[in-house]
Amino acid sequence: MRLIYGISLALFIQLSDVSLMAVASDSVPASWQGEWSWDGGPDQMGIQYGGSLSIKDCDQTGCAYELSTGSARSVCGSEGRFRFSSPSKAVHEREGEDFQNKKVACLITFERKGPDMLVTGSDGSGCAIFCGHSGNFGGDFRRWSSVPMYHTSFNCRRAKQNIEKTICTHKILAELDRELSGRYSTLQEILSPETKQLRVEQQQWLKKRDQTCGTATDIAGCLETAYRQRTAELNKAIGAACGLSGNAKRCKGVRIK
């Protein structure tokens, strides 16, 4: 009886170990998936560095990804599918070209440094076709959900577009977003109920903002310029509206800039 119990217990432990190993193995790909962001800050010339990384559709062999790193000087872009070389490392070997247009390899590497940290890199002269002379795929990424966010006029935790994510993670842009939102609300109150044209103009500006800055090499710089220009336009409109005698009561206490 003891023998049977001992065999059953041993078999149960073995099966439990197999199940735990399967669960651990299954959790590896899932832990890679998500949106990642890198804010490299400005270099000595004041040029902002950074990047974005999207990882999805993972299985036991690897994941699909879209990676962008760089600055206004040079932007690296790659997409495809990387393969796991270990639970914490992955690689994507691409056929590229060097500066002499020769077909050579470009090795893009991914390494997890913790639950919310991921480091990318690249090796090989073939990466030149994806990056240019001075660029590379190196970046220290943080999981989007763990990136510190600043207070804006919208809910950053629900941000989907790269434009919104950039605003949420840059202090100056967040401040400009709040300022613009406040001036827009002020102008709405002054013009109420005749605000239809203002709403149309604001929607047009948002559309232009996304189209222009969404494809810019320096997204943060583009957004800062766009926000300062739009805020100046709103300030000018507030000044003009408050110059009308009919709006004197509504303009009481309004700061004219």
pLDDT of residue 165: 85
Q: Measured between alpha carbons, how far is 140 from 133 in angstroms, rounded to an integer?
A: 21
Is 11 within a domain?
A: no
pLDDT of residue 28: 67
Among 146, 171, 193, residue at a domain's last position: 146
Tell whether 141 and 86 lie within a shared domain: yes
Tell whether 104 and 81 lie within a shared domain: yes
Among 146, 171, 191, residue at a domain's last position: 146
Helix axis angle for 219-242 and 196-213, nearest 10°, is 160
Tell whether 132 and 165 lie within a shared domain: no
- HEC-encoded secondary structure of the chain: CHHHHHHHHHHHHHHHHHHHHHHHHHHHHHHHCEEEEEEEEECCCCCEEEEEEEEECCCCCEEEEEEEEECCCCEEEEEEEEEEEECCEEEEEEEEECCCCCEEEEEEEEEEEECCEEEEEEECHHHHHHHCCCCCCCEEEEEHHHCCCCCCCCCHHHCCCHHHHHHHCCHHHHHHHHHHHHHHHHHHHHHCCCCHHHHHHHHHHHHHHHHHHCCCCCHHHHHHHHHHHHHHHHHHHHHHHHCCHHHCCCCCCCCCC
pLDDT of residue 20: 35
Distance of CA 21 to the CA centre of its chain: 33
Task: Give the mean pLDDT per block of 10 residues along the chain (257 residues).
Answer: 44 40 51 87 71 92 92 81 95 88 91 92 87 77 82 85 87 95 93 90 94 86 95 95 86 84
Tell whether 54 and 105 lie within a shared domain: yes
Among 85, 120, 146, residue at a domain's last position: 146
Tell whether 110 and 68 lie within a shared domain: yes
Tell whether 182 and 135 lie within a shared domain: no
pTM above 0.85, yes or no: no
Tell whether 83 and 134 lie within a shared domain: yes
**CA angle at residue 160 from 158 to 161, to 5 degrees?**
140
pLDDT of residue 5: 41
Q: Tell me the C-alpha to C-alpha distance, in Å, between residue 63 and each of 59, 89, 91.
A: 6, 12, 10
Tell whether 95 and 182 lie within a shared domain: no
pLDDT of residue 11: 42
pLDDT of residue 214: 84
Is 106 within a domain?
A: yes
Query: What tokens does 52 get?
Result: 């974005």
Tell whether 104 and 170 lie within a shared domain: no
pLDDT of residue 190: 92
pLDDT of residue 241: 92
pLDDT of residue 124: 87
Is 177 within a domain?
A: yes
Tell whether 108 and 62 lie within a shared domain: yes
Domain that holds residue 130: 33-146
CA torsion through residues 149, 155, 157, 162, sign: negative
Burial state string for 64-79 with b = 16 or more CB within 10 A and e = fewer than 16: ebebbbbbbeebbebe
Q: CB-based contacts of 229: which residues, under 8 Å, 6+ apart?
A: none
Is 171 within a domain?
A: yes
